[in-house]
Amino acid sequence: MSDKKRILTGDRPTGNLHLGHYVGSLANRVKLQKEYDSFIIIADVQALTTHWEKEENLTENIYTITLDYLAAGIDPEISTIFIQSMIPELCELTMYFSLFTSVNVLRHNPTIKSEAAQHGFKDMTYGFLGYPVSQTADIAIFKAHLVPVGEDQVPHMELARRIVRRFNDLYKPVLIEPDTLVGDVPRLVGLDGKAKMSKSLNNAIFLADSPETLKTKIRSAVTDPARIRKDDPGHPEVCTIFEYHKVFNQDQVPEIEVHCRQGSIGCVDCKNKLFTRLNDLLEPMRERRNKFAGNMALVKEILFDGTSKARAVAQDTMYEVREAMEINYLNRPFKY
């Protein structure tokens, strides 16, 4: 076992990952995988907490997200990608954590509240309300030190730290209190200028988009509505394209800002500059994706091996957890 510190992150397999995921947490995972022992969970059970009767595509979605990871630069030789439902020990640890987790604390979690509203849940299921407990088990069972996530996951991380501390105080200090790492851009705006890039808002640029799709999406993105003619002075502070330049094209930002304000660069040219930059970012990802997509047997093997490795770690931790909780009855001395 390596003596590197461990990272645990992951996503629900709900379709293709987009640039918001990339700048919010995926880029960090790619960057840190050499320095840390990296585990990436494909959270299929968590996806079922909102789609228990509707989810038909989990199988495909699991391969899709795996290809996204590999395309983004997650290296399966050094990172461990695994499937949540194939680690039954996670259910066990979730149950133990739930014994001392307050329902009121769960009800006050702002991410849970906004997701419940978004899904129109009037009466939340036990599984949905408790998914942050299950997520705590995902992190704790691997003794992760660091969790790179998007901004919406921060309340879950606070809960995770609280649960781990409580467990360690109640029983024995066998678990690790994880730190949170939010990406450089915690919340990337959508192509429509809305606060958040999201698949369900239909305003996302996916890592898997072709150059043509990328071009069309950038062309249709909203810019400064006050600019009618090419040489009208622009207001970069209200322009979605300028937001993206700030994130993905930092070197050219000062120049673009000046020219936009002077009306000496048109929106079409400005969008072309962004296209070039984003396409440079996505092209190597497309190449890696194509390489892996041409060998899906290998992708399946990556998932199988990753899951076997993760399960062994989970089993070791559960042994310690049961010892700490003294629920290893048949291994204990007894009086009768």
User: Site size for ligand TRP, by CB under 6 A?
Assistant: 14
Residue 230 zone, left/alpha/beta (φ > 0; ψ -120 to 50; rest): alpha
Residues 6+ apart with CB under 8 A from 184: 23, 27, 247
Smallest distance, Å, CB 160 to ligand TRP?
Answer: 8
In the list 37, 44, 68, 138, the residue contacting ligand TRP (rule: CB under 6 A) is 138
In the list 48, 71, 87, 139, the residue contacting ligand TRP (rule: CB under 6 A) is 139
According to DSSP, the β-strands at 146-149 and 79-83 are: unpaired
Smallest distance, Å, CB 331 to ligand TRP?
Answer: 30
Measure the CA–CA gap between 188 and 208, rounded to whole angstroms. 17
**Backbone angles phi and psi of 8, in degrees to 5:** -130, 125
Binding mask 43-82 for ligand TRP (x = CB under 6 A): x--x------------------------------------
Of 8 and 265, nearer to ligand TRP (C-beta) is: 8
The four Cα atoms 184, 186, 191, 195 give a dihedral, to 10 degrees, of: -150
In the list 19, 27, 30, 41, the residue contacting ligand TRP (rule: CB under 6 A) is 41
Binding mask 4-23 for ligand TRP (x = CB under 6 A): ----xxxxx-----------
| The token pair that represents 52 in the structure block | 């228990």
Measure the CA–CA gap between 236 and 259, rounded to whole angstroms. 10
Smallest distance, Å, CB 245 to ligand TRP?
Answer: 27
Smallest distance, Å, CB 181 to ligand TRP?
Answer: 11
Per CB under 6 A, contacts with ligand TRP among 161-220 are none
Count of CA atoms in the C-beta half-sphere (13 A) of 24? 21
Question: Per rule CB under 6 A, is residue 149 in the interface with ligand TRP?
Answer: yes
What angle is formed at CA 3 by the lines to CA 6 and CA 292, rounded to 5 degrees? 55
Of 29 and 277, nearer to ligand TRP (C-beta) is: 29
Binding site for ligand TRP (CB under 6 A): 8-12, 41, 43, 46, 135, 138-139, 147, 149, 153
